[in-house]
Amino acid sequence: MSWFIFALICLLGWGGADLFYKKGTDPDDRYSHLKIAVWVGLVMGIVALILLPFSETGFSVSSLLTNALKYSPASLAYIISMVIGYAGLRYLEVSIVSPVQNASGAFSMIAMMVFFAVTGTVNDDLGDFSVLNIVGTAIIVIGMIALAVVENKLARKEANELAVTNEEKKKNRKYQFGALALLFPILYCIFDTIGTAADGIILDEEAGLGLGEIDVLILYGLTFLLAGIISWIFMLIRTKKAYNPFAKKEILNKGVAACFEEFGQIFYVFAMARNPVLAAPMVASYCIVSVILSRIFLKEKLKASQYACVVAVIVGIVILGIAEGLGEAE
């Protein structure tokens, strides 16, 4: 199976995860993001333990520690970015958060190209690029950046059009935080760029650090499990009450979101291992799926400019698919 199919499945999985993250987010619950982290850690931890016997480098304590150290830049950056992203959903709509966050796909692609150029492996990773690859990737990146800009402008316009009495300002989180709320997706973008670039370098089959896809899934899953446990303990200490992740409402939203997250993660790892430079921006375009699903299920309204950006990214993905098909046919 090619990197393109893996990336396509990943973006569908993560797009679904975004929808359920939003459904499982309570704007009035200050620990909502930590509860999501508990569920994601639980699901990823279970999958990691299942995969442990299949580790390519062995699963002794020494090998786990050695590999964990190698993968720590990526795993820590990812976990920080995701928890920040969960927190941002308390203040912003999915259609605003997701496009801004996933501009990281473009930045991480640039970071990886710089790394591969410096290390002299750039030809290995870009040698198979065709004109269609370049055009498709460019359209995806431009579409995502344009969508982020459009979402930012629409959010500001909407805030200005709302009633501005003091009482309503107190009740409305968009007024309480204003432009500061956009710091959440921006910080997510920064840390996710670090994580994605690190993943691309670590997993690259030519210039990687010797960690296979299964090992990365195990290490990331165990690290997130630890983060979930720490989040659960933190909430217990602060609230004096144990969080029950198995309540029906929690399972239907946060649990489903975590399953979609891990489903996408599995295919993401294999896509990045095969073609990190092209896979990164394509995977990041899952924000398009998020925007479409938020329109259908959360009734978040879309403007003509938003639809234009969505169509552009879809066109870019189709072009990459055509390029991949032509490449396999040769």
- Which has more pLDDT, 129 or 54? 54
pLDDT of residue 41: 96
pLDDT of residue 45: 96
Query: What is the rounded CA–CA span in Å between residue 144 and residue 311?
Result: 11
Per the CB < 8 A criterion, the answer to whether 67 and 75 are in contact is no
pLDDT of residue 49: 94
Q: What is the 3-state secondary structure (H, E, C) of the chain?
A: CCHHHHHHHHHHHHHHHHHHHHHCCCCCCCCHHHHHHHHHHHHHHHHHHHHHHHCCCCCCHHHHHHHHHHHHHHHHHHHHHHHHHHHHCCCCCHHHHHHHHCCHHHHHHHHHHHHHHHCCCHHHHHCCCCHHHHHHHHHHHHHHHHHHHHHHHHHHHHHHHCCCCHHHHHHCHHHHHHHHHHHHHHHHHHHHHHHHHHHHHHHCCCCCCCCCHHHHHHHHHHHHHHHHHHHHHHHHHHHCCCCCCCCHHHHHHHHHHHHHHHHHHHHHHHHHHHCHHHHHHHHHCHHHHHHHHHHHHCCCCCCHHHHHHHHHHHHHHHHHHHHHHHHHHC
- pTM for this structure? 0.81
- Which has more pLDDT, 101 or 236? 236
- pLDDT tens digits, residue range 51-104? 998 887 776 777 778 888 888 888 999 899 888 888 877 766 655 666 666 667
Per-residue pLDDT band at 25 (split at 50, 70, 90)? confident
- pLDDT tens digits, residue range 150-164? 766 766 676 566 545
CA-based radius of gyration for the chain: 20
Per-residue pLDDT band at 121 (split at 50, 70, 90)? low
- For the residues 2-9, what does the mean pLDDT come to? 91
pLDDT of residue 62: 79
Using the structure block, give the residue that is written with the tokens 């690259």.
Answer: 204
- pLDDT tens digits, residue range 254-309? 999 999 999 999 999 999 888 888 888 888 888 788 878 888 887 777 788 878 88
Query: What is the rounded CA–CA span in Å between residue 59 and residue 36?
Result: 28
pLDDT of residue 158: 64
Query: What is the rounded CA–CA span in Å between residue 217 and residue 214?
Result: 5
Query: What is the rounded CA–CA span in Å between residue 276 and residue 213?
Result: 13
Question: What's the distance, Cα to Cα, between the start and end of the chain in Å?
Answer: 16
Using the structure block, give the residue that is written with the tokens 């993660």.
Answer: 265
pLDDT over threshold 90, residue 129: no
Per the CB < 8 A criterion, the answer to whether 40 and 228 are in contact is yes
Residue 25 phi/psi, 5-degree rounding, is -95, 125
- pLDDT tens digits, residue range 177-233? 444 556 777 788 888 888 888 888 887 766 566 678 899 999 999 999 999 999 999
Q: Which amino acid is at 304?
A: A
pLDDT of residue 306: 79
Q: Residues 274, 4, 9, 301: what is their CA dihedral angle, to the nearest 10 degrees?
A: 130
Tokens of 174: 């968009």
Query: What is the rounded CA–CA span in Å between residue 284 and residue 93?
Result: 18
Tokens of 309: 């950006």
